[in-house]
Structure 1
Amino acid sequence: MPGQRTTLGQLLRKALGLVALLAVVWAFARVGVREFSRDPQGESGGAAPITLTVMHWSGDAGQREDDIVEGALAQFERQNPGLRVQRINPGDAASFYTKLQTMMAAGTPPDAFYIGSERLAAFATMGLLEPLQPFVDADLAALTPPADAVRLDDYFQATVDAYRYDGSITGRGELYGIPKDFTTVGFYYNIDLFRRAGVPLPADDWSWDDYVAAARAIGALEGCTGSEFVTWPPMLRAYLGTEGLDIVGESFDDLRLDEPEVFAAFDRLRSWRHDERGTLTSGKSKIAEGSTVFLTGTVGMAGPFGRWVVPSYRNIPSSAEGGFDWDFAPLPRGTRLPDMPQSNTVLSAAWAMSSRAEHPQETWKLIRALVSPETQAQLSRLGLAVPTLREVARSDAFIDPTAPPRNDQAFLDAALVASVQAWPATSKFEPLFKSRLDAGLKTGNIPLRQAITEFENDWALESSSPLASGDFEPVDWVLWRNLAALGVVALLASVAFVVVRGRGASFTRAEERAGLALVSPWLVGFAIFMAFPIGLSLVLSFSRWNGASSLASAQWVGLGNYAQLIGHDDRFLTSLRVTAFYVLLAVPLGQAFALAAALLMNVPSRAIGFFRAAWYLPSVLAGVGVSVLWRWVFDGDAGLLNTVLAPVLALVGLTPPDWFGRDAGTFGPPAFALQSLWMVGGSMMIYLAGLKGIPQDLYEAAAIDGAKGWRRFRSVTLPMLSPVIFFNGIMAIIGSFQVFTQAFVMTGGGPGDLTRFYVLYVYNQAFEFYEMGYASALAWMLLVVVLVLTVAVMWGSKRFVHYEGMS
């Protein structure tokens, strides 16, 4: 019977293995048959339909915008039976550009896609966009122009100019996008607070003097703030534009931030926030900032914002319903010179065509349909933006007297005086500008003059870097492919040699085969999904590649990336310093906390299972959700922690720190270290397993010798637990150098770069600056740093780690 049971067990295992193998073979065979058996003539025997791919994002209108685009595509398919459209919507704009970059790098870009005017120069320089002026001209030159032909004269001129680029500056040259919607900017104001403060409502021709007078009056009201003024780079440039100024001259090599007029304009904005209590919001809050502060009903004005906030603001109850009434006013007029004219800026999105679209004529036909008056009118009713077609913008599709804001006309009037903001081809300029000017204007943790100087130094280093100029040879991928093949052959030969040379008894070989079979899924997965990307990233670390075009465009720069990060990138050193500060705090604090929790969870109790689960649960919760929670806890204005600390510290004449604001350089990393204690459950469970493995007779012997409490812990528990402490410590060091989600969600690396952790900076380089080669060099530098620290810890642990059974 025992032998029979063994045979049945073996048969069962073999049967299950065969079923699993057949399932895998069937899955691959099904996909293969489906792909290779496609009828190129289609089911009807005619020409196969052409499939076009479009990609877009959803704004604050969410599903409603999604439904409108889907409906427009369905109508397009009905009108063009030979065409099919595949729609991709990754979500918000940030996710959209990451997905778009990935698809372009893979050589499968969408045929048509959204593009913001701020990204035009970068995408056009990389050769990713198809010029659209020839399609526009061909339609109008046809004997019978299409009914939906794009006539650029029907558009607001500034919206069209925003998608022209001549290789050096935006606003002129080739046309790369057909604008679908746009917005001018201004301030949304609380009518009720204006009336309480006794100041007149903003007029369309109001000035900055009128603005600040109203902000001061409202700020004097109990519990109120005059205005929120966001310091986003496009808004700062729009503010300067009202004074006839800008931060650059003819080119981006000609910075003008130090000019007296520009500095004075910025300093005035700084003084409103930091020298006049209540005039502008403090800039400290991380949970009530930007457009959301207006929803509280305690802020008189919020901006400069465009039309995109209207859907959320329309949810504000009216005064009669317990909320407040509100409206919109365009940017104030400048006061630097007498009779300064009105000025504004255009922010927009357009449909663009990939330069690698397989069916450009059909894609152009699709773009024409997506910017049609009907589609623009439907999107306009969502309140998100202004139609780019003047006729639609002046219709009731946009101007709706029944819904706020009442002053819809102000958006259209501002478009007539709006200008296009030029941006350089490199996408690094805007983040550099924001991080430095935020520190001087928003949080005020450094003087404005210092912030400007640091930005100019950053830009000068970027412009003079080893990668900024010079022609580099393409990467010889054939050579690297051959080297990789030789490496694989050498590895397989080495494995075969070891297997043959180590051939032993039959039962040993059977164990080896069983072990290899069990580990083979991981080995295959590693070889396919890990080994290749790791090797590729090593090659890319010596290359310049934007990550949005094919690998064939990569250029060999040798040690240029490493020379850049060591000698021309202050932010690299800053991110390394911030991360090291965090590691020094989080690793010992986290391990001590986890060990203490494990000791507590090792106490016998009938409910101990519940408490262990409660301690462990936070470590498996979604990182984004937890980060949002802790952002509220550490908020500088109304956070839970500061609310608790304020009365305690007041007893000794102190105030709570501004964790992620003015004091972020000192208290930012400690705040993240405190947050990391929330997720010590994994380490705690490992410590608990180690405690369970300590022989009880050692404690009994210690008790006989009179050891109690701390002495027993130090002489028995710690030595026996030292291998576990060593393991957890190594893993904690490695994990602490990979902080990303918390910093990305809670601070974005700011203010300035005071919380820009290393991995967040790698992400910035790869997916915001389109410097995938440089990001690869940063990643390998991180590997070196972590490896050195790990080796140092292992070398230093020899005297302190005790392995049972080893002499």
Structure 2
Amino acid sequence: MSYPSSQIKGSVSQALGRLARCCLLVISILLVLWAFARVGIREASRFTGTGSDTELVVMHWSGDGGPAEDAIVERALKRFEEANPGIRVTRLNPGDAGSFYTKLQTMMAAGTPPDIFYVGAERLASYADAGLLLPLDEWVGVEGTSEDFELEAFYPATVDAFRFEDGKVGQGRLWGIPKDFTTVGFYYNRDLLEQAGMPEPASDWTWDDFIESARAVGQLPDCTGAEFVNWPSMIRAVLWTENVDLLDDDTSIRFDDPKVVEVLERIRSWRHDETNTLTSGRSETANPASRFLGGKLGFAGPFGRWVVPTYRTITDFEWDYAPLPRGKASANMIATVAWGISGNTRHPEESWKLVSWLTGAETQSEQARLGLAIPTNRHVAEGDAFIDPETPPSRDVDFLTPVAASSVVPWPPNPALEGTVAKRLDQAIRTGDLEVPEALQQMHEWWEAERSSPLARADHPSMPWVWIVSVFLIGVVVAIGLGAWLLRRMRPDPTTATEERTGWLLISPWVIGFLLFMAVPILLSLCLSLTRWSGITTLGEADFVGTANYSKLLGEDDVFWQSLKVTAVYALLAVPIGQALALLGAVLMNIKIRGVSFFRAAWYLPSILAGVGMAVLFRWVFNAENGLLNVMLDPVLSPLGLEPPDWFVQDAEIFGAPAFAIMSLWLVGGSMMIYLAGLQNVPRSLYEAAEIDRAGPVRRFVSVTIPMISPVILFNVIMSLIGSFQVFTQAFVMTGGGPGDHTRFYVLYLYNQAFDYYEMGYASAMAWLLLLIILALTMLTMRGSSRMVHYEGLR
């Protein structure tokens, strides 16, 4: 029997198609297996030490040193590998310090921290208290230590900065080897001081000398005396110069100490009671140090050595450095970073060898020439590598002289204290919306409540993860068994069964991915909300606290309610105004005119721009002194005797959330496109019938357009409502939640708890409350719209 050629060709084509699909399937499976096997073998050899080389993972940041600092570390690591052929170093650099600590926290929580990493002195208490670092006392001087490493040659104050025991910094065991450090002081514009007829500061100048010079410079046209930062550690260093501190020996706030009040009130008065002596609290520049670059500022500080690489790019004026002025005493602070070794490293000997190499004299000399910091090795710091009078600043010695009277600013292990102090100092000194005594009182009340909270106890039981995992696995087995039983009971016919198997097979990647990467983390976060867990240790370190997180949130945490209030005000403004503007834009874009596609694209484009870039742009738009918006408002409000608001500083309590709502209008293009699609689906016949009934444009819009696109309106309102409770990037970049908590949105506060204060359990409880809030608002919106939404297919 012969077959038609077309039938033969069809059979061959089908066979080749099946063969191609099978080959593609096999290749895909092999690629996936190869990828998993390669990663698995690599990680197994790394952790079991079966590889030919010992691998050390090193993580650091670049900061103000930029690519130059990164290159110095890379060269040091290459020299180390050449000198130690059996050790291979993997270097990680996430970028700036913020990105570094976020990545480090994630790696620590996963139980795979880098072997060696930067540790800032301000983080030492938290890390050492959590057992994340390897104590280094017993390693100093052992065989294998780098030949040019001499801990005895280090400045003692820098080494003491990384000693911690019994809750106190500066005593006990050594947890890190400082790589460099800096004291702080003021950078000054030599040209402006000369114009003002003032001498350059002496090495032992006083606060009276400082303010006299600042006032003189402030009298020059378009000039300001000084930028005086109010960072907590800097303010405490200033207090030290007056023989007083913000904290006493047991870390209580000295809220009623008249000396503390006097010093803080003096700084506040310089800024708010005098003209052009200090920079205005209305200024919202992200980096205060950058204001010095404009050449209109007499002094900038207190800053450390980290600004020198940037200031060395200045060509328009001469500048130099003077140490922190003295008051009743000569004092200064030390800011320093160390190389620390993970407490979980599998290669402590090799790690110590590398740390001693990275803090040896050769590497410190190379870093000193960058100008970013001071070498901790006294011999290097006092040599030509650091002291170079020909390169600004010429007064390098003035960084070294105060070291004998300097120490690191100690903070307790709870990082939330420094964050709260920063907020209240900002309100009292920079923006002036809190009186100094009131700010100190709020610090004290918050800190005492925090220390007496049930969550602060150390006797909580461990989280019963074994029982939780067992119950979860039993539930999974029961669910699978129940599903199989239901499928067997239904007993579909062979054709239907084949279709069902095919459907389940096709959807299985998504189902498996959802269960593993969505459902399990959601359930895990629910469990974490019942714990106190820092997020920088493994889950096995989590303590069970029951509903204490929820109790504290709802009953004790004023910032929680403030963040909810800010978010609610924003939502009440941004959602209706934004949707109205999006609908108006869609109506305009629906007009049939030439070139309308260009206008649609122009309207939509801003909604896909990067959030960070948009936030930086609008920070300048809302700038109270010379921002675009206030420049436009001033001519309108001046005849009425009014002034434009100080959006994000002094008037932030009233105008902060509305400012973000105004900014959100930049992003209505996405909703506009959805409305436009809905408008184009409205049948033309309905409009024709309305025209026959002599309905005008407004009546047609209200009676025809709105009902027909009501499902689209409902969808956009719900999505916009959900999005309004997830504001983060704009507030994080533009205000950081300040001043105080006036712009601290809910998700920003959640981020603060999780990644700034290491309260991952508390943040998980906040996440679940947010879920319930959004769910309730969504259900109310859908229920309230049931009689107003027209579904054409159901009518």
- Picking from 435, 444, 457, the partner of 1:447 is 435
Task: Judge which range, 434-443 or 511-520, deviates more.
Answer: 511-520
Residues 192-271 of structure 1 aligned to structure 2 (within 5 Å): 192-252=191-251, 254-271=252-269
Deviations 1:644-666 (A, max 9, x none): 21222112111111111011111
- Picking from 605, 615, 625, the partner of 1:637 is 625
Q: Offset at 1:633? A: 1.0
Q: 1:458 to 1:507 in 2, by over 3 A?
A: same
The DSSP-based 3-state class of the residue aligned with 2:55 is strand
Q: Offset at 1:753? A: 0.8
Q: 1:288 to 1:296 in 2, by over 3 A?
A: farther
Q: Name 2:303's counterpart in structure 1.
A: 305
Deviations 1:245-283 (A, max 9, x none): 10111111x221320010010000000010101110112
Q: 1:134 to 1:268 in 2, by over 3 A?
A: same
Deviations 1:409-434 (A, max 9, x none): 10000112112211101111110101
- Picking from 114, 134, 137, the partner of 1:133 is 137
Q: Offset at 1:524? A: 2.1
Q: Offset at 1:300? A: 0.6
Q: Distance in 2 between matches of 1:18 and 1:425?
A: 59
Alignment check: 8 A CA contact 1:283 1:289 kept: no
Q: Offset at 1:605? A: 2.2
Task: Judge which range, 3-12 or 581-590, deviates more.
Answer: 3-12
Q: Does residue 53 in structure 1 map to residue 51 in structure 2?
A: no
- Picking from 16, 27, 31, the partner of 2:31 is 27
Alignment check: 8 A CA contact 1:54 1:88 kept: yes
Task: Judge which range, 381-390 or 517-526, deviates more.
Answer: 517-526
Q: Offset at 1:589? A: 1.0
Q: Does residue 696 in structure 1 map to residue 677 in structure 2?
A: no
Deviations 1:81-122 (A, max 9, x none): 111111111111111111111111111111111100000000
Residue identity opposite 1:280 in structure 2? L
Alignment check: 8 A CA contact 1:121 1:167 kept: no
Q: 1:473 to 1:615 in 2, by over 3 A?
A: same
The DSSP-based 3-state class of the residue aligned with 1:467 is helix
Q: Offset at 1:29? A: 2.5
Deviations 1:718-754 (A, max 9, x none): 1111111111111111111011111111111111111
Q: Name 1:555's counterpart in structure 2.
A: 543
Q: Offset at 1:457? A: 1.8
Residues 668-707 of structure 1 aligned to structure 2 (within 5 Å): 668-707=656-695
Deviations 1:679-728 (A, max 9, x none): 11221111111111111111111111111111111100111111111111
Q: Name 1:328's counterpart in structure 2.
A: 321
Residues 140-151 of structure 1 aligned to structure 2 (within 5 Å): 146=145, 148=147, 150-151=149-150
Superposition TM-score, scaled by structure 1 size:
0.94
The DSSP-based 3-state class of the residue aligned with 1:366 is helix
Q: Offset at 1:157? A: 1.3
- Picking from 417, 426, 432, the partner of 2:420 is 432
Deviations 1:29-57 (A, max 9, x none): 22355467779999xx9972111111111
Q: 1:491 to 1:412 in 2, by over 3 A?
A: same
Q: 1:538 to 1:225 in 2, by over 3 A?
A: same
- Picking from 99, 107, 112, the partner of 1:95 is 99
Q: Distance in 2 between matches of 1:441 and 1:56?
A: 34
Q: Does residue 279 in structure 1 map to residue 283 in structure 2?
A: no
Alignment check: 8 A CA contact 1:61 1:384 kept: yes
Deviations 1:350-385 (A, max 9, x none): 011111111111110110000011101111111110
Q: Name 1:460's counterpart in structure 2.
A: 448
Q: Offset at 1:497? A: 4.7
Q: Offset at 1:639? A: 1.4
Q: 1:359 to 1:470 in 2, by over 3 A?
A: closer
Q: Name 1:474's counterpart in structure 2.
A: 462
Q: 1:431 to 1:41 in 2, by over 3 A?
A: closer
The DSSP-based 3-state class of the residue aligned with 2:302 is strand
Q: Distance in 2 between matches of 1:404 and 1:385?
A: 14
Q: Does residue 63 in structure 1 map to residue 67 in structure 2?
A: yes
Q: Distance in 1 between matches of 2:563 and 2:334?
A: 34
Q: Offset at 1:149? A: 6.4
Q: Offset at 1:492? A: 2.9
Q: Distance in 2 between matches of 1:496 and 1:714?
A: 52
Q: Distance in 1 between matches of 2:44 and 2:482?
A: 47
Q: 1:84 to 1:195 in 2, by over 3 A?
A: same
Q: Offset at 1:451? A: 1.6
Q: Name 1:182's counterpart in structure 2.
A: 181
The DSSP-based 3-state class of the residue aligned with 1:381 is helix
Alignment check: 8 A CA contact 1:544 1:557 kept: yes
- Picking from 777, 780, 785, the partner of 2:773 is 785
Deviations 1:537-594 (A, max 9, x none): 1100001111111111111111011112122211111111111111111111111111
Q: Name 1:337's counterpart in structure 2.
A: none
Alignment check: 8 A CA contact 1:585 1:673 kept: yes
Q: Distance in 2 between matches of 1:533 and 1:349?
A: 34
Q: Distance in 2 between matches of 1:3 and 1:765?
A: 70
Aligned residue pairs total 789
Q: Name 2:116's counterpart in structure 1.
A: 112
Q: 1:217 to 1:38 in 2, by over 3 A?
A: closer
Alignment check: 8 A CA contact 1:458 1:570 kept: no
Residues 571-720 of structure 1 aligned to structure 2 (within 5 Å): 571-720=559-708
Q: 1:530 to 1:33 in 2, by over 3 A?
A: closer
Q: Name 2:386's counterpart in structure 1.
A: 398
Instruction: Give 5+ residue unaligned stretches, structure 1.
Output: 318-322, 335-339
Q: 1:245 to 1:521 in 2, by over 3 A?
A: same
Task: Judge which range, 186-195 or 459-468, deviates more.
Answer: 459-468
Q: Distance in 1 between matches of 2:41 and 2:73?
A: 32
Q: Name 2:331's counterpart in structure 1.
A: 343
Q: Name 2:127's counterpart in structure 1.
A: 123
Q: 1:37 to 1:653 in 2, by over 3 A?
A: closer
Alignment check: 8 A CA contact 1:291 1:302 kept: yes
Deviations 1:308-358 (A, max 9, x none): 0001111110xxxxx111000000011xxxxx3311000000011111111
Q: Offset at 1:618? A: 1.5
The DSSP-based 3-state class of the residue aligned with 2:460 is coil
Q: Distance in 1 between matches of 2:548 and 2:171?
A: 33
Q: 1:240 to 1:17 in 2, by over 3 A?
A: farther
Instruction: Give 5+ residue unaligned stretches, structure 2.
Output: none
Q: Name 2:717's counterpart in structure 1.
A: 729
- Picking from 279, 289, 292, the partner of 2:290 is 292
Q: Offset at 1:231? A: 0.7
Q: Offset at 1:502? A: 5.2
Give the fraction of aligned pairs with identical amino acids, expressed as a percent: 54
Residue identity opposite 1:304 in structure 2? P
Q: Offset at 1:507? A: 6.2
Alignment check: 8 A CA contact 1:465 1:568 kept: no
Residue identity opposite 2:290 in structure 1? T
* RMSD (Å) for aligned C-alpha atoms: 2.3
Alignment check: 8 A CA contact 1:40 1:48 kept: no
Q: Distance in 2 between matches of 1:268 and 1:591?
A: 49
Deviations 1:421-470 (A, max 9, x none): 11101111110101111111111122222222222222122112220114
Q: Offset at 1:17? A: 5.0
Task: Judge which range, 496-505 or 795-804, deviates more.
Answer: 496-505
Q: Name 2:364's counterpart in structure 1.
A: 376
Residue identity opposite 1:531 in structure 2? A
Q: Offset at 1:28? A: 2.5
The DSSP-based 3-state class of the residue aligned with 2:299 is strand
Q: Offset at 1:491? A: 3.2
